[in-house]
Amino acid sequence: MKKLSTAKYLKKLTNKLQLFWRRKKSQDFGLCHMSLTRYLKKRKDAEEKDMPMESLTVGYQKNKQVFNDEQEPVVVSYAIKCSQYCYGLTLKDVKQLALSCALKHNIVIPQLRIDKKDAGSG
């Protein structure tokens, strides 16, 4: 059996205690321990780079979100109303609707989307 030096042993023990503390505290607040670990890592990185703590983001973020949280429900409700009036929109129609709404709201979108006249991928 390999014998650890005192410093390595203490470091290993400290890591185990920190992991136990994170798991226990995350359970107390109903969080996943990995979410707390990711946040603490972001916080440590921010402190090292002298970034303000207010700039840290917590939770999942929408990838490539085009509309803000006020604009998106308006577009969605319009598409739902169309379907309720038995005027179903095809996927292509919804993409064109999204593109025209983005252009109306002066949202920066890739030129390729304007050329293709739709807002979706593929």
List the structure tokens of 37: 């670990």
Residues 6+ apart with CB under 8 A from 91: 120
- The parent domain of residue 21 ranges over 7-49
CB 36 within 8 A of CB 26: yes
In a domain, 68, yes or no: no
Give me the number of domains the chain comprises.
2
**Per-residue pLDDT reduced to its tens digit, 69-89:** 888 898 889 888 888 888 878
In a domain, 54, yes or no: no
Residues 6+ apart with CB under 8 A from 57: 42
**Per-residue pLDDT reduced to its tens digit, 15-74:** 776 777 778 878 887 878 788 788 888 888 888 888 887 777 776 666 677 888 888 898
Residue 15's Cβ-count burial label (10 Å; 0-12, 13-18, 19+) is: exposed
pTM for this model (two decimals) = 0.46
Residues 6+ apart with CB under 8 A from 97: 75, 78, 79, 89
In a domain, 111, yes or no: yes
In a domain, 63, yes or no: no
Q: Could you identify the residue written with the tokens 């969605």? A: 76
